[in-house]
Chain A
Amino acid sequence: GESVGLHLPTLSVQEGDNSIINCAYSNSASDYFIWYKQESGKGPQFIIDIRSNMDKRQGQRVTVLLNKTVKHLSLQIAATQPGDSAVYFCAENSGGGADGLTFGKGTHLIIQP
């Protein structure tokens, strides 16, 4: 099976609500995790990252939570906007860049007006 996965292929939320996208990983040696946003026809765009020595990291309207006990990662998007519609991928990197990122399948976030 794949090392990194997301729980839901599609998530539909109302504009203005908060969104939570989840990801489970299986490689306990992974020490670096990244969330990417990919809009149709574009490459993945870096959102936020977190290292394994942290539990939480905040950015602009986004928060990443890492639970190493259950090997779970989540991305929280506050006050979801239409421009947040995209596919979101979590990725893990256990080799400091040299081994490549392992991506999950992605969650398609749909914003309802």
Chain B
Amino acid sequence: KAGVTQTPRYLIKTRGQQVTLSCSPISGHRSVSWYQQTPGQGLQFLFEYFSETQRNKGNFPGRFSGRQFSNSRSEMNVSTLELGDSALYLCASSDTSGNTIYFGEGSWLTVV
């Protein structure tokens, strides 16, 4: 069974640009959540989607958004990039019950 797959793995963007990251959850998992990891703030929850609906959102500005498709695949978007958005963005999936949450390898975003 394939794990959580994230693309792209690495990318470099310029301040002011926008970026879209993609996540394919484990087959059969309907819950997809996103996290930001930085050396200073650690792992922080961004938002969680279930059946194409955002169920919860962390404490991030509106520049961070996401969506989920009918096949449970998810994308997150960051608009008007700032230097501080440089981070590892992690996607995680879990089954309907919310049990055991599995992470992908992440997308490394560098904003210059």
Pair from one complex: yes
The A30-77 residues at the B interface (CB cut-off 8 A) are: 32, 34, 36, 42-46, 49
The B45-67 residues at the A interface (CB cut-off 8 A) are: 45, 47-48, 50, 55-56, 58
Q: Mark A2-37, 1 if CB is under 8 A from B, else 0.
A: 000000000000000000000000000000101010
**Chain B residue with the shortest CB-CB distance to A103:** B43
How many chain B residues touch A (CB < 8 A): the figure is 29
By size class, the interface of chain A is 20 to 34
B106 adjacent to A97 (CB under 8 Å): no
Least distance between B96 CB and chain A CB atoms (Å): 9
Cβ contact of A98, chosen from B6, B43, B55, cutoff 8 A: B55
A105 adjacent to B50 (CB under 8 Å): no
A42 adjacent to B98 (CB under 8 Å): no
**Chain B residue with the shortest CB-CB distance to A89:** B43
Task: Describe B's contact surface by its main secondary structure.
Answer: strand
Cβ contact of B103, chosen from A45, A96, A99, cutoff 8 A: A45
A32 to B104 CA separation, bound complex (whole angstroms): 21
B105 adjacent to A43 (CB under 8 Å): yes
| B residues neighboring A (CB under 8 Å) | 4, 6, 31, 33, 35, 42-45, 47-48, 50, 55-56, 58, 88, 90, 92, 94, 97-106
Q: A46-B102, A46-B103 are in contact. List 13 more A-B contacts (CB 8 A).
A: A42-B105, A42-B106, A44-B43, A46-B100, A49-B99, A93-B101, A95-B56, A97-B33, A97-B97, A97-B99, A100-B47, A101-B92, A104-B42
